[in-house]
Structure 1
Amino acid sequence: MNKNAKVSEKTLKKVQDAMDQLGYRPNAIAQSLASNRSNSVGILVSELHGPFYGSMLSGIEAELRGSQKHAIIAAGHSEEETEKEGIEFLISRRCDALILHVEAVSDEYLVDLVKNEVPIVLINRFIPAIADNCISLNNELGGYLAAKAILEQGHKEVAYISGPNWKMDASDRLKGHKKALQEFNVTYNPKLTYEGDYQEVGGSDGLEYLLNSKQPFTAVICANDEMASGAMTFAREHRISIPKELSIIGFDNIILAQYIYPKLTTIDYPIKQMGQMAARWILKNTFKQTDLEVKNVFEPKLITRDSILAH
C-alpha cells in the first residue's frame, strides 16, 4: 500500500483487489501520526487570482507532485492577521514544510518562525538574517532595466505607476527606476508618479491621474503588467496611440503581455521557476533529496516587444 516494499505483481494484485472490494482507503492522518510525515507542503500566497499567482502555484505543485508530495494552499490577502492565521492553519494541518509568499508580516516574525520545527522557505522576499530560506528576485535591478529601456529610446519625460509603496518589491522597483534616471541625468519628478495597486484598475486610474496632472510625459513605466494593461486600455479609450504617442512598459512578463495590442515590452519575472525552486528547497531540506541544487536569487531581464518607440 505504501509502494515502498518489494512485492510480487501477483500479491500486489490480490491486495489491490481486496482493497477495491472492501472500499478501503488508507487513513492519511493515521499514517502521518505513525511516520511523523504527512507528505504535504503548505503554501501561503497573497492571492489566488491572476496569472502571476497561477504560474507560481503551478511551478510549485509540479515539482512537489514529481516527488509524490501534495500541496495545501491558503491565501493571506496581504493582511498581517490573515497571513498569520493562514500560517497557523497550515501548521495545524501537520504540513511537513511551508512555502510562504507573504507581504504584511514583519521580518522579525519570519525570523522567529524559521526557528520553529516546521521548515520554511520564503518566495519573493529577502531577509538577510535568513537568506538561505529566501527565494527572491532582484527587483531593484528590474526597475532599473525598465527605466533604462525607456531612457535609451530618448525619452526624458517619464511617468511611473508604482505598486503599493509599503510592499518591498514595489519600493525596490521604484528605487531602481530612480537609479536609472540619475544615471541618464534625468530629474525624478514626483508629480509624474502614481501609487497603484498592482491591479488593472490601478493602471487605468494611474494614467488618468497622470494626464490630469498636466505634466508632460512621453512614456509610462508600470510596476507590473496588469497595471500596464489597464493603462493601455485607458489610452485606447481616449485615442492615445501606443507607442506612437505614448510608450508603455510593464513588469512580470505574464502570458497576457504577448497577446495584448500592441504586444507589451516588459521585464521578465521568472515566477514559475522561482516556485519550482522553492519546492526544490523543501524537497532538499525537508525530505532529504540532497542531490538537488537550489538557486536563491533570480535576475530579471528585459523582454522587448512593440509597446515602446524611440522619441
Structure 2
Amino acid sequence: MATIKDVAREAKVSIATVSRVINQDDKVRDKTREHVLMVMKSLGYQVNVNARALSTQKTATLGLVVPDISDPFFACLAKGVDSIARQHQSQVLLCTAQNSSDSEQQAIDSLLQRRCDGIILYCTHLADSALIDIVERYSNVVVVARNIPEIAENCIYLDDELGGQLAAEHLLALGHSRFASIMSELPIQDPKHRLSGFNSALYKQALTLTEDQVVYGAPDQLGGELAANTLLKNQQVFTALFAYNDAMAIGAISALEEAGFKVPDDISVIGFDDICLAHYSRPKLTTLHYPVEAIAKHAALLAINKHTQLDKTAHSHRYQPTLVERQSTAFAPIAASKQSLNENQTERQN
C-alpha cells in the first residue's frame, strides 16, 4: 500500500506539500496540486481520514438522521443534504431511526462519536428538552421541522399552520362546506399545526371540524387508506378531505374510489408535501408544496457554518408552503344535488 512518503518521492515534492494537498490547503499552487493528485491516483494512495481529522479537526462528513429513507419525502431531504456535502468535498453519514426516541438517540450518539462536521436531525419522537440538550452541547447540530424557541437559531422549519390555512381556503373557495381530515398519528408538531391552520380558516366562515371528522393513522399510503375507510365506516358525510401528507392522500383516494366515490367529482382531496408521486397519481394531486430540498440544503449549510463558526445568527429559519392546484380538487357538488350526494354516501357506506 502506497504511503505519503511514496507519493512525495514520486511527485518530487516534500511530504509537507503532499500533506497540504490532502488537507486542501489553499496555499498550494494549482499546478502542483494537480500533479500531486495525479501521482496519488497512479499509486493508488488512499488518504487516512482519521489522521487528517486529527490534523484539521474536520472529518469531511455530514450526519443525517431521518425516520425512514424509503419515504420519498426523506429521500428528497437526503438528496438536498448530499448536494451540499459534495460541494464541500464531504460525504453524508445517514442513520435511520425506527420510530422511537431510543433509536433516534442512538443514531445521534453514533454520529456524534464520529465527530461529523455537522449533523442534521429530523426527529419525530425525541422531546424538545432532549434536542435542546444536544444543541447546547454541540452547536453544529441543526434540527429540521421543529421550532424550539430555546434553540431557535439551530432550527429550520415550515409554517405548517399556514399550510393548513391555505388548504382550507382553497376548498372553501371551491364552495365546500362539509369537511373531513386524516392526520398523522405520530406525536409531532406538524399534524397539530396543520389541523390548527385548517380549523382557523373554517372558523372564519362559521364552520367547524369536529373530532369525529378527524381520523389519525400512519403517515403513509396504507395509513391514509385505513383512515379514509374509518371515516366511511363511521358514516361521516363530506365533500372535501384534507390529508396530512401526499402519501395519506393517495391512499385515501384509493379507498374512496373502491367505495364508489369519484375524486374530485364527489369528494375533493388535498395533500401536503408535493412529493414526486403527487404529479403522477391519478387524479394528479392538489397539494401544498413543502420546499424540502431547499430546507435540506439550508440545514446542511447552516450546520457547516455553525461548525466553522461563520454563522452567529440568533433567529429561527422559517419557510412557507405554497398551494399547487392539480386535478384532485374541484367545485363542490351544486346545492341542488347535495341531498342526492348525502343519500348516495349513506347507501355506499351501508
Regarding TM over 0.5, the answer is: yes
Alignment partner, residue 158 of structure 1: 179
Cα pair distance change 1:243/1:20, threshold 3 Å:
closer
Q: CA deviation at 1:11?
A: 7.9
1:196 to 207, 217, 238: 217
Cα distance in 2 between the residues matched to 1:153 and 1:39: 51
SS of structure 2 residue aligned to 1:68: coil
Deviation at 1:60, TM superposition (A): 1.1
CA contact (8 A) 1:91 1:118 kept: no
**Corresponding position of 2:128:** 107
Mapped to 2, the partners of 1:8 and 1:146 lie a distance apart of 54
Name the residue aligned to 1:300: 321
Distance 1:10 1:81, change over 3 A: closer
- Which of the numbers 141, 148, 155 marks the counterpart of 1:127? 148
Larger mean CA deviation between 1-10 and 251-260 belongs to 1-10
Deviation at 1:242, TM superposition (A): 0.9
Deviation string 1:73-113 (CA, Å, 9 cap, x unpaired) is 10123310000000100011121221111121111111111
Aligned to 1:271: 292
Larger Rg: 2
- Give the match for residue 52 of structure 2: 31
Q: Which runs of 5+ in 2 are unaligned?
A: 1-20, 333-350
Alpha carbons 1:196, 1:203 under 8 Å: kept: yes
Output the CA distance in 2 between the equivalents of 1:18 and 1:44: 37
Residue 232 (structure 1) aligned with residue 271 (structure 2): no
> What is the identity, as a one-letter code, of the residue corresponding to 1:211?
L
Please list, as runs of the form range in 1=range in 2, the aligned pairs for 1:210-249 lying within 5 A after superposition: 210-249=231-270
Question: Kindly tell me: are residues 284 and 242 of structure 1, through their superposed partners in 2, closer, same or farther at Cα, counting changes over 3 Å?
Answer: same
| Structure 2 equivalent of residue 257 of structure 1 | 278
The answer to which of 112-121 and 245-254 deviates more is 112-121
Residue identity in the other structure for 1:87: I
Distance 1:27 1:226 in 2: 43
Task: Specify the code of the residue in structure 2 equivalent to 1:304.
Answer: E
Q: Return the offset for 1:165.
A: 5.3
Provide the rounded CA distance (Å) in 2 between the counterparts of 1:219 and 1:257.
17
Q: Given that residues 147 and 316 in structure 2 are in contact (C-alpha distance below 8 angstroms), is that contact kept between their aligned partners in structure 1? A: no
Deviation at 1:20, TM superposition (A): 4.2
| 1:284 correspondence with 2:290 | no
Q: Does the 8 Å CA contact 2:142/2:155 hold for their aligned counterparts?
A: yes
Looking at structure 2, the residues matched to 258 and 274 of structure 1 have their Cα atoms a distance apart, in angstroms, of 21
CA distance in 2, matches of 1:28, 1:68: 13
Does the Cα contact within 8 Å between 2:306 and 2:312 map onto a contact in 1?
no
Tell me which amino acid in the other structure corresponds to 2:277: L
Following the alignment from structure 1 to structure 2, what is the Cα–Cα distance between the partners of residues 165 and 122?
A: 17
Give the Cα separation in 2 of the matches to 1:97 and 1:249.
36
Partner AA of 1:9 in structure 2: K
Give the length in aligned residue pairs: 309
Q: Name the counterpart of 2:93.
A: 72
Residue 277 (structure 1) shift: 0.5
Letter in 2 for 1:185: A
Q: Give the secondary-structure state (helix, strand or coil) at the position aligned to 1:286.
A: helix
Where do residues 153-192 of structure 1 align in structure 2 (5 Å cutoff)?
153-164=174-185, 166-192=187-213
Q: Deviations over 1:9-42 (max 9, x none)?
A: 37853x4465345432110011101222112111
Paired with 2:43 and 2:304, the residues of 1 have a C-alpha distance of 34
Native 8 Å contact 1:207 1:231 kept in 2? yes
Runs of 4+ in 1 over 6 A off after TM superposition: none
Task: Note the C-alpha offset of 1:288.
Answer: 5.0
CA 208–130 in structure 1, closer or farther in 2 if over 3 Å, else same: same
Deviation at 1:257, TM superposition (A): 0.7
Alignment-mate amino acid for residue 144 of structure 2:
I
Q: What do residues 257-286 of structure 1 show as CA deviations (whole Å, max 9, x unaligned)?
A: 111111111111111100011011123222
Q: 2:16 matched to which residue of 1?
A: none
Query: 1:80 & 1:136 partners in 2: Cα distance?
Result: 20
**Which is richer in helix?**
2
Change (3 A) 1:120 1:230: same
Query: Structure 1 residues 17, 201: closer, same or farther in 2, change over 3 A?
Result: closer
TM-score between the two structures when normalised by the length of structure 1: 0.93
Aligned residue among 45, 55, 79 for 1:58: 79
Aligned CA-pair RMSD: 2.1
Asked if the contact 2:180–2:209 (Cα under 8 Å) also holds between the matched residues in 1, the reply is no
Query: Which stretch shifts more, 151-160 or 112-121?
Result: 112-121
TM-score, structure 2 normalization = 0.83
